[in-house]
Amino acid sequence: MPKQRTLPKNTEAESLLLNLMYYHGEGCKKTAESLRPEDFYDASHGILFGVLREAASKGEKLNYVILKDVLESEGMFDKVGGKDGLSAIFSNKEAKDMPPDEVGKTAEKYLSMILGTANKRRLIEAADHIATSAYDAGTDAAGIVDEAEKSIMGISKGLDDGNGTEESLPIVVRVMEKACELEQNKGQITGIPTGFRDVDSLLLGIQSDDYVVIAARPSMGKTAFAMNIATNVAVYKKKPVLIFSLEMSSDQIVTRMLTSIAMIDSRRMKMGECSSEDWSEILKAGDLISGAPLFLNDRGGLTVGEIRRAAREAKAKYGIELIIIDYIQLMSGENKKDGRTQEVSEISRNLKALAKELHVPVIALSQLSRAVESRVSKRPMLSDLRESGSIEQDADIVMFLYREAYYTKDKEGVTDEDMDEVRDKAQVIISKNRNGDLGDVNMRFISQWTKFMDMPEPSIVK
């Protein structure tokens, strides 16, 4: 009978780090940012770490009474062993008396021990999963290899990230090269083109590291505009695009793309009333999309952490050059204790961090509140985003969509002629642009094709 092996662990290092965090929270703050509760072998240690890390991030000093109250309010007091459990964990006199200048270095040593055993456990778990899948006669070898690569890559990424510090020389070289490129291509698009002439004229394309927010009230065409950009980038420019669709299914997204490219009425396709000419155009559109480097993820209710992990994998595997997320308000943050506004702020900060980490522009759609409807002028403005956490300050570019027809149709005495006047009119309002100009871009929106189009002549109002 094979000898039963125990999983790698270092519960002593876990306990000692918790002691340091309890007595010297501020000194352990940076170390705590590199750990997660699931890195701890002992579940009670993971629970306590979560509470202590949150307190350190807020600059709060805990004592036994406060800690006990927090744990009881969350129904966790008994799970950490109650009074006896806390007394056993926080009884280390050496940690209590440690000089402040030694706390950080000591915490880093414990961090290394904890992460070392945590990553070994992850490797064992991944290996067990691979072995189980391989023994299953119904599984495909290529699929198992793909999953194995994803699992190992995720663990390897955690080991290789380092602390992100870089010398100035390579930074200066990059900046100078970029400056020379801009000089040689003065006035030309230097980033990812949206495919819309006047929008690109103002933005000069979307740059790597850019966090772009496209915001509007419902039914203004946010998804259509974003999918038009995705089509322009992936289908016509052949640059890999990753779309996270938290509201619509992948099938619905591709259906929109088909009718937009083919320029046929989407209702005819849904009703099965397409003509032979329609089908000819749909098949051509299908060939274009199927040959494009386009990747879709339609899992609902994704957390910002799950999106970041999926984006890292896609970047490593497919070389993604643009990420689109539809939309922010359907995402979940990792910390839901401080209310929805703070949760949205956390999501927004993480999306900006994702763009910087992968050097890939991130376009995120955002729903605007009903406050717009209470004004005489319904045109959205930056202040409409201020109730949505820190989206406005995090974003490098903010674009609003506005269609007058949406409001005209509900006015009294509106005639068909009145509607014909505004039906296809749309505006892209660029209200924030860290690296370029602001302005309003007049466009056409053909609703039956879910397609935005440039005006025949340049139409920018600055």
The beta strand positions in 149-216, using DSSP E, are: 211-216
User: Looking at the DSSP assignment, which residues form a beta bridge with residue 400?
Assistant: 215, 429
As a residue count, the chain comes to 462
User: Looking at the DSSP assignment, which residues form a beta bridge with residue 425?
Assistant: 444
AA identity, residue 153: M
Among 266, 305, 298, 293, CA closest to 282: 266
DSSP-assigned letters across all residues of 360-391: --EEEEEEPPGGGGGSSS----GGGGTTSTTH
Residue 411's Cβ-side half-sphere holds a number of Cα atoms within 13 Å equal to 12
Q: Decide: helix, strand or coil at residue 428.
A: strand
User: Looking at the DSSP assignment, which residues form a beta bridge with residue 214?
Assistant: 365, 399
CA distances from 458 to 188, 300, 318 (A): 16, 39, 35
Other C-beta atoms lying within 10 Å of the C-beta of residue 346? 20
In Å, how far from its chain's centre is CA 267?
A: 32
In Å, how far from its chain's centre is CA 449?
A: 28
User: What sign does the dihedral 399-330-389-191 (CA atoms) show?
Assistant: negative
Q: Please report which residue ranges of 263-331 form alpha helices under DSSP H.
A: 266-270, 276-290, 304-318
Cβ atoms of 198 and 427 within 8 Å: the answer is no
Identify the H or E element spanning 425. strand 425-433
DSSP-assigned letters across all residues of 11-24: HHHHHHHHHHHHH-
- Which residues are CB-contacts of 83 (< 8 A; sequence separation ≥ 6)? 68
Phi and psi angles of residue 397, each rounded to the nearest 5 degrees, phi first: -135, 135
Token pair recorded at residue 62: 């805990």
- Tell me how far apart the alpha carbons of residues 232 and 286 are, in angstroms, rounded to a whole number: 15
Residue 404 a catalytic site member: no
Of the candidates 54, 247, 357, 404, the residue annotated as catalytic is 247
Catalytic site positions: 247
